[in-house]
Amino acid sequence: MNTGPLNENELEWLDDTLAKYAAEGAILDVSELDGLLTAILSAPTDIEPAQWLLAIWGGADNVPRWANDRERDRFVNLTLQHMSDIAERLESYPDQFEPLFGTREAEGQELTIVEEWCFGYLRGVALSDWSTLPAELQPELDAIALHGSEEQFSALDNLTADEFIASIERITPAALALYQYWIANPQPVEARSQ
């Protein structure tokens, strides 16, 4: 498997593949995938690839009928390579960690779009039990949830432009703080009945 960050063509191919096989409940784009993978790497317990690969597609019923094995293998390999790059940055180079936020041009300005990444992060959080997160770290998770939960959209609408920008700037340090906490304080794996 290749290592290091994905190049623009590889990210675009992942994005196109996610769109090609989009289904109800599936990850929509590479930004949302990046958020999901970051949360999986930051989880209190290890999450098995079989579990999170299904989560990408919104469950077992939505797993793509790949055009061929090569397409499937490329998707899995690029996803794992991207995940490995995120893991390396979180662990060894936190100053280089940057969530893969989307962008959009409006009225001649490039806008940063964080919602998809935050939605993906919260989907990753839902794959494990974060209930033992200390109260002092809840604001970190809330900083991500503010942009990743439809229930929070009215709160976003009430922010001033400066407050909105500040809320976006809190996401990266929040993700790093959550990762660092769970790496230092992993939770025991409980036997789960399926």
Strand partners, 112: 103
pLDDT tens digits, 48-95: 999 999 999 999 999 999 999 999 999 999 999 999 999 999 999 999
Q: Which residues pair with 113 in a beta bridge?
A: 102
Question: SS in 3 state form for 135-185?
Answer: HHHHHHHHHHHHHHCHHHHHHHHCCCHHHHHHHHHCHHHHHHHHHHHHHHC
Here the CATH number for the domain that contains residue 84 is 1.20.120.740
Q: Does 86 map to a domain? A: yes
Q: Is residue 192 in some structural domain?
A: no
Radius of gyration of the chain (CA): 17
| pLDDT at residue 1 in the model | 60
* Residue 122 counted as domain residue: yes
Phi, then psi, of 101 in degrees rounded to 5:
-70, 155
Question: Structural domain of residue 71, as residue ranges?
Answer: 8-184
Residue 189 domain flag: no
**Is the residue at 191 inside a domain?**
no
- DSSP assignment, residue 13? H
CA atoms of 120 and 28, how far apart (whole Å): 9
Asked whether residue 53 is assigned to any structural domain, the reply reads yes
* 2 domain residue, yes or no: no
In a domain, 193, yes or no: no
The structure's pTM equals 0.93
Could you report the per-residue pLDDT of 131-180, keeping only the tens digit for each? 999 999 999 999 999 999 988 888 998 999 899 999 999 999 999 999 99
Domain count, the chain: 1
